[in-house]
Amino acid sequence: MVLGSINEKMEAKTKTINIIKETRKVPAHVTEGRKKYVQFRKAIHETLKTEGKTIPQIAADTNLALSETTYYLMTLQKFGEVIVEGMDDMDEYYIYKLKPVSNKVDSKD
């Protein structure tokens, strides 16, 4: 009998969480922000596919403001998608490139 009552309690909790999920929706501005991030991420990835570039070069290629380019580029760097390749000729800007994808699989032998 104890097992039955535990299962009933779990069902009640599941139902409660389902009700909460149904009543609480993601705000529209959050959804729009996520869409914007995905668009800018794709644009930056496309720009950096062929060679490393500085923030002003990326901004010019993607038609983004310098501040937005910096923000999204630093986000990509934080999450390990972009790395610093070096400095430009005048030592004013870092050159960013896509992080190489490793196909190496770790084996535990």
What CATH code is carried by the domain that includes residue 63? Answer: 1.10.10.10
Residue 86 resides in a domain: yes
> Domain range holding 65?
51-101
User: Given this model, what pLDDT does residue 67 score?
Assistant: 93
Q: How many domains does the chain have?
A: 1
Residue 108 resides in a domain: no
Block mean pLDDT (10 aa), the chain, length 109:
61 72 85 92 92 93 93 93 89 90 60
Residue 71 resides in a domain: yes
* CA separation for the pair 36, 71 (Å, rounded): 13
User: Given this model, what pLDDT does residue 22 score?
Assistant: 81
- Contact between 72 and 40 under an 8 Å Cβ cutoff? The reply is yes
Residue 38 resides in a domain: no
* CA separation for the pair 67, 4 (Å, rounded): 58
User: Given this model, what pLDDT does residue 103 score?
Assistant: 62
- Tokens representing residue 81 in the block: 């998608």
* CA separation for the pair 47, 67 (Å, rounded): 17
User: Given this model, what pLDDT does residue 73 score?
Assistant: 94
Backbone angles phi, psi at 52, to 5 degrees: -75, 145
User: Given this model, what pLDDT does residue 108 score?
Assistant: 57
Residue 70 resides in a domain: yes
Residue 67 resides in a domain: yes
Residue 65 resides in a domain: yes
